[in-house]
Structure 1
């Protein structure tokens, strides 16, 4: 049980719910597109739903890497460019969540083990 608390419970509730919301939007869009196209393969729907729950951890990895590279710098860019770039990174994190999220879960486990944040 400690492993689950340290990994899947490692993100704050507000952070997880925020990104779960965006992951659910992507899932709803993809399922609607597939269903309207006549594709009713249940395995695809299961993958989309799994990506929804893994997306917050995938996004955590992405934001940690970007924070490490850019630090506390502020960049002033065109708002349209920023929105497009944000959408692309969200889509990539969602699409590859099953690959990226395990890295985030591993990091959270070792981080909370080292800091003993979650006591048994």
Structure 2
């Protein structure tokens, strides 16, 4: 069981995980701030879901970056920096919102990747 957790949840490097967790926490902060702007309607289930999305965000982003890396390869594209920052923020938001659905794909990938490399 411990090996399962190490190969899945511990499958990302600490540097990558905490970097992505930082960006996911920014979305969490926005959601918490939005909830506390109207204290009469604070929804604990929404806040719990937001925390779950934040914890799963690094694995969701891992899947996104793997797919983009596969499609784009080693090509380099030159775009307007403002446009690219908007696209990056949008993809980060999508990965955060749907992390509960996307992250399991990344966890399964990490499990098989580490299992094959261990044996």
Aligned-partner Cα distance in 1 for 2:115–2:90? 33
Q: 1:11: Cα distance to partner?
A: 0.2
**Could you tell me how far apart the structure 2 residues matched to 1:105 and 1:35 are?**
33
1:41 deviates by: 1.1
Count of equivalent residues: 117
**Whole-Å separation in 1 of the counterparts to 2:9 and 2:74:** 27
1:100 partnered with 2:102:
yes
Task: Measure how far apart 1:37 and its partner are.
Answer: 2.9
Give 1:35 deviation, angstroms.
Answer: 1.6
- Structure 1, gaps ≥5 residues long: none
Name the residue aligned to 1:72.
74
Q: Tell me what 1:24 maps to.
A: 25
Q: Could you state the TM-score of these two structures normalised by the residue count of structure 1?
A: 0.95
**CA RMSD, 1 decimal:** 1.0
Deviates more, 1:50-59 or 1:33-42: 33-42
| Alpha-carbon displacement from aligned partner over 1:53-89 (angstroms, at most 9, x marks no partner) | 1000000000000000000110000011000000000
List 4+ stretches of structure 1 deviating above 3 A: none
For residue 32 of structure 1, report the CA deviation from its aligned partner.
Answer: 0.5
Matches within 5 A, 1:1-120: 1-38=2-39, 39-116=41-118
Question: Which segments of 5 or more consecutive residues in structure 2 lack a partner in the other structure?
Answer: none
Q: Distance in 1 between matches of 2:115 and 2:15?
A: 22
TM-score by length of 2: 0.95
